[in-house]
């Protein structure tokens, strides 16, 4: 029986793709760069896509192999697309800082016309990124964080009410979801100036949008595949975007309504949206916060649009709620297994809270040196971004070698691998906050600790993220002793995805102190 026309063309297509992939899989061998053997058609993504193994874990295996052989870098394949992975810390310093002009972009697809939410600071490229970063930097100063601080503390009230309820009936608490709802409420208040109260209403639309953004569903995998392998012009032509129309409309409408209400009624709140309104109206953040809506002065520079506001508020929400929630979760897991450390940090928290009239204050948190070490060690062992993405924007000759990283090549900075490297952190699986005392920090390569990236594109929200983590931990640890419930699977495993999250539930026992 003759093959049908469709079957014939299918065989031809698969054969062509196979040989195309084989050709592409020779990229690193031609450059004489070490690489793990790829598998058709996945490259080195097979375990991630078929077994849900985080790509950072696959990178770590190759990182260990490269270091053992004395290599300063290696290559991997995401499908047939080559990606460069530096191992040497001095080379990483060049990429992130000294030679940053060769690696300015993250290589994330941006289509502001069809998907305005992609036009956020994390994704933006070159001059657009520089312009937006310059405008947003004044919104994340320590002064602005102090301005927003009390709003964060107010959100601990609902957290405390839920924990009291569980403690009274001696039931374990599933902290992973609870803390995500807690940080969602903080970002809703601090970022958008609205009362979400997902602590009491887990099914709020705001919370659902946050969950959706981090789901590694089949449709998300397909979209990610298309965005990775298709050129930007083709993605734009067929209107392929990572965010759904519903999500786009939700955030743009939310920002539009909030801005319109505040400008019509001259409403002033100490939050992120207020700072965004300043940027929209005047192109800059002013210290005269109360006068923002009434001052009709001509902008000194071009302001931002509502769509740009929505994009920044969107990434502010996603980065703010998920990374802080997971960091708090990891901290409690570690403290639940290291009771001596937990007692030491609780003693510091309670002593300083008492000093400030039994209230959690900004100045008080800034005095908590051991809490700072605990948070730093948590971020060391469980960095929010296990891999930091960059893209080479012009050919770069690696110093001391004949290897050229070609323009357009993606770069993966292996944060998790570096921060679990026994050369920099002896017994790396041990949770030891004293790794971050002054002496140890001074004796360590500064790029051995990069949980938020480094250089000009370091995370702009570092202060805010750490502050809400500390507020949450202070609220919990000042009142409760935490132990691990048997329902929590140890050792913990990570879900695949851009941000490290715990696989499965995190159940912890509460004991009032």
Going by the annotation, the residues of the binding site for heme are: 459
Q: Which helix (H) or strand (E) holds 397?
A: strand 396-397
Token readout for 164 is 């009291």
Query: Directed axis angle between helix 272-282 and helix 245-265, to 10°?
Result: 80
**Strand spans (E) along 419-499:** 480-484
**Cβ(133)–Cβ(121) below 8 Å:** yes
| Cis previous bond, 87, omega within 30 | no
**Cβ(455)–Cβ(96) below 8 Å:** yes
CA–CA separation, 157 and 479 (whole Å) = 13
CA–CA separation, 368 and 478 (whole Å) = 13
**Cβ(261)–Cβ(134) below 8 Å:** no
Q: Which residues line the annotated binding site? A: 459
Token readout for 193 is 């100036």
Burial of 274 (0-12, 13-18, 19+ CB in 10 A): buried
Query: Phi and psi dihedrals of 335, rounded to 5?
Result: -70, -30
Token readout for 293 is 């809506």
- Residue 48's alpha-carbon distances to 12, 43, 106, 391, 455, in angstroms, are 28, 11, 21, 21, 29
């Amino acid at each position: 029986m003759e093959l049908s026309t469709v079957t014939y063309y299918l065989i031809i297509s698969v054969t062509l793709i196979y040989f195309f992939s084989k050709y592409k899989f020779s990229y690193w061998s031609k450059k004489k760069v070490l690489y793990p053997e790829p598998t058709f058609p996945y490259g080195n993504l097979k375990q991630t896509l078929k077994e849900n193994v985080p790509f950072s874990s696959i990178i770590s295996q190759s990182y260990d192999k490269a270091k053992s052989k004395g290599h300063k870098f290696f290559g991997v394949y995401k499908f047939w697309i080559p990606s460069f992975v530096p191992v040497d810390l001095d080379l990483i310093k060049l990429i992130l800082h000294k030679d940053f002009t060769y690696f300015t972009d993250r290589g994330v697809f941006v289509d502001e016309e069809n998907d305005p939410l992609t036009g956020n600071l994390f994704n933006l490229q070159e001059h657009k990124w520089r312009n937006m970063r310059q405008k947003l930097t004044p919104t994340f100063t320590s002064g602005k964080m102090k301005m927003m601080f009390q709003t964060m503390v107010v959100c601990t009230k609902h957290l405390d009410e839920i924990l009291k309820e569980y403690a009274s009936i001696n039931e374990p608490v599933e902290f992973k979801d609870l803390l995500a709802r807690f940080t969602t409420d903080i970002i809703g208040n601090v970022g958008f100036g609205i009362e979400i109260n997902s602590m009491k209403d887990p099914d709020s639309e705001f919370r659902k949008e946050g969950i959706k953004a981090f789901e590694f569903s089949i449709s998300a995998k397909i979209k990610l595949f298309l965005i990775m392998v298709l050129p930007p012009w083709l993605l734009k032509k067929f209107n392929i975007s990572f965010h759904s129309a519903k999500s786009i409309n939700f955030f743009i409408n939310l920002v539009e309504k909030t801005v319109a209400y505040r400008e019509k009624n001259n409403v002033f709140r100490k939050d992120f949206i207020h700072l965004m309104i300043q940027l929209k109206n005047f192109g800059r953040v002013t210290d005269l916060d109360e006068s923002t809506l009434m001052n009709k002065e001509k902008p000194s520079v071009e302001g931002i649009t509502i769509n740009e506001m929505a994009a920044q508020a969107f990434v502010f929400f996603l980065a703010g709620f998920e990374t802080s929630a997971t960091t708090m979760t990891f901290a409690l897991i570690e403290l639940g297994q290291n009771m001596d450390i937990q007692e030491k940090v609780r003693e510091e928290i309670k002593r300083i809270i008492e000093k400030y009239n039994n209230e959690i204050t900004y100045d008080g948190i800034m005095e908590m040196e051991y809490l700072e070490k605990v948070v730093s060690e948590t971020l060391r062992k469980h960095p929010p971004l296990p891999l930091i993405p960059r893209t080479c924007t012009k050919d770069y000759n690696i110093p001391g070698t004949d290897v050229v990283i070609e323009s357009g090549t993606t770069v993966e900075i292996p944060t998790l691998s570096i921060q679990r490297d026994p050369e920099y952190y002896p017994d790396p699986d041990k949770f030891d906050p004293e790794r971050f005392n002054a002496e140890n920090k001074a004796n360590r390569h500064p790029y051995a600790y990069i949980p938020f990236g480094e250089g000009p594109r370091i995370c702009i929200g570092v202060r805010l993220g750490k502050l809400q983590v500390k507020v949450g931990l202070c609220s919990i640890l000042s009142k409760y002793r935490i132990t691990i419930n048997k329902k929590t699977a140890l050792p913990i495993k990570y879900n695949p995805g851009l941000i490290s999250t715990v696989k499965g539930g995190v159940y912890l026992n509460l004991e009032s102190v």
